[in-house]
């Protein structure tokens, strides 16, 4: 720990690109094989290969991979680092690496043990990539840190991760994750929460204000994604919501109980794409009613408990396209044309897939 102190002031004065993983000797395994991708190689995933990796634990859905792959968005690239920024690599091992400071791609690099993460400030972290960690149970949040400069976050293949982010140690009502644009989580078998607030801390107005893309896949125990506190009106910049194979997920954006009682319509002004696949427990995206006036596409499979689509703009041209099972579409609930919530305001496209009651809900037939 003390060997890092000479660099602490300089690190805090610039943006930090943080990577956390296991050392090669203690690497996490996925599907019986060791995986160690690293920040450089993670951007080289072909979209089909990534989808195949996601679905390897779901052999029943193998015939659907081609179709779902065409849905899945590639993870946006990391923000381009400046020459003065730092690359900070932490590994969950007992021994600190030797030769820790070196030049790499014009960005200064320092490597250390993940046990030191709570000691180091994360205020200037602009990129966070956590992957293939065999021991991490939660990404720590040091006292006073609001992750206000974080733009890009990807977390994947961490078998012991229970909650992705620890609840911030801040006074109630402070803004957090203000600049976050991309959040991507994949293959987290034990994760119950991405974010979860406490009775003493609720995010304020401006939190997650610039979140554009939210992707999750293969998080089977996930209960919810991002609770909207009483002080958070909505996610004003969200454009793409994509969730795949999260069987325990009941609600994506649960509301504060006081807001839930009001039955208010939660507005997502820039939401364009909703992609949901094999979410057998899903009951709601956000509260009892939500609106998405700029919605363009909805692609849904295996979400039989979801009964409502968002309220839309009411336009009769360029209607949102809905790709779904016909049985699901026929059982949706509507508020009527006057509420901009009617089947005529959407353009349904029913695929060749259909539901059979005697088959598991993950089974897909052509």
CA dihedral for 282, 168, 215, 222, sign (positive or negative): negative
Q: Report the run of H or E that residue 152 belongs to, with start and end.
A: strand 152-156
Q: Of 152, 115, 149, 108, which Cα lies nearest the Cα of 133? A: 115
Predicted pLDDT at 251: 97
Which tokens belong to 328?
């699901």
Which tokens belong to 166?
């620890």
Q: Where does 234-296 show beta strands of DSSP type E?
A: 240-244, 265-267, 273-277, 289-291
Predicted pLDDT at 108: 56
Q: Report the run of H or E that residue 86 belongs to, with start and end.
A: strand 86-91
Neighbours of 288 (CB within 10 A): 14
Q: What are the residue boundaries of the structural domains of the chain, listed by start?
A: 15-74+86-350
Predicted pLDDT at 109: 53
Which tokens belong to 188?
């987290």
Q: Measured at the alpha carbon of residue 19, what is the angle toward residues 17 and 23, in degrees to the nearest 5? A: 150
Predicted pLDDT at 46: 33
- Can you tell me the distance from the alpha carbon of 26 to that of 134, in angstroms, rounded to the nearest whole number? 7
pLDDT per position in the chain (366 positions), as tens? Answer: 334 555 666 666 788 888 888 866 444 433 333 333 444 443 333 333 344 454 555 544 444 444 555 667 788 998 888 888 888 888 875 433 333 333 444 455 555 445 544 445 567 889 999 999 988 898 887 777 789 899 999 999 999 999 999 887 777 678 999 999 999 999 999 999 999 887 667 888 899 999 999 999 999 999 999 999 888 889 999 999 999 999 999 999 999 888 888 888 999 999 999 999 999 999 999 998 999 999 999 999 999 999 999 999 878 788 999 999 999 999 999 999 999 999 999 999 986 654 443 344 444 433
């Amino acid at each position: 720990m003390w060997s890092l102190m000479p660099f602490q002031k300089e690190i805090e004065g610039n943006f930090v690109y943080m990577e956390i993983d296991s050392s090669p000797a203690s690497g996490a395994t996925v599907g019986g094989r060791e995986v160690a991708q690293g920040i450089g190689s993670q951007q080289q995933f072909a979209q089909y290969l990534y989808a195949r990796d996601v679905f390897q634990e779901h052999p029943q859905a193998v015939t659907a991979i081609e179709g779902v792959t065409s849905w899945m968005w590639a993870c946006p690239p990391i923000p381009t680092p400046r020459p003065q920024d730092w690359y900070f690599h932490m590994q969950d091992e007992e021994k600190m690496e030797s030769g820790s400071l070196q030049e790499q791609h014009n960005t200064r690099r320092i490597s250390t043990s993940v046990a030191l993460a709570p000691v180091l400030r994360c205020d200037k972290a602009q990129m966070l990539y956590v992957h293939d960690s065999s021991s991490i149970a939660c990404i720590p949040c040091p006292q006073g840190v609001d992750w206000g400069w974080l733009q890009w976050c990807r977390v994947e293949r961490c078998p012991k991760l229970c909650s992705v982010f620890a609840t911030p140690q801040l006074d109630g009502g402070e803004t957090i994750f203000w600049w976050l644009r991309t959040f991507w989580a994949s293959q987290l078998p034990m994760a119950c929460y991405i974010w979860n607030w406490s009775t003493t801390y609720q995010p304020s107005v401006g939190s997650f204000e610039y979140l554009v893309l939210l992707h999750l896949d293969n998080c089977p125990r996930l209960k919810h994604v991002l609770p909207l506190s009483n002080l958070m009106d909505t996610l004003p910049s969200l454009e793409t919501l994509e969730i795949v194979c999260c069987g325990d997920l009941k609600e994506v954006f649960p509301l504060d109980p006081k807001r839930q009682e009001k039955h208010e319509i939660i507005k997502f002004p820039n939401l364009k794409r909703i992609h949901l696949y094999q979410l057998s427990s899903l009951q709601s995206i956000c509260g009892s009613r939500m609106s998405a006036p700029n919605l363009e596409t909805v692609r849904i499979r295996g979400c039989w408990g979801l009964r409502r689509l968002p309220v839309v703009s009411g336009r009769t041209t360029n209607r949102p396209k809905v790709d779904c099972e016909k049985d699901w579409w026929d059982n949706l609930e509507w508020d009527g044309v006057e509420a901009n919530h009617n089947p005529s305001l959407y353009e349904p496209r029913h695929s060749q897939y259909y539901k059979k009651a005697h088959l598991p809900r993950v089974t897909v037939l052509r």
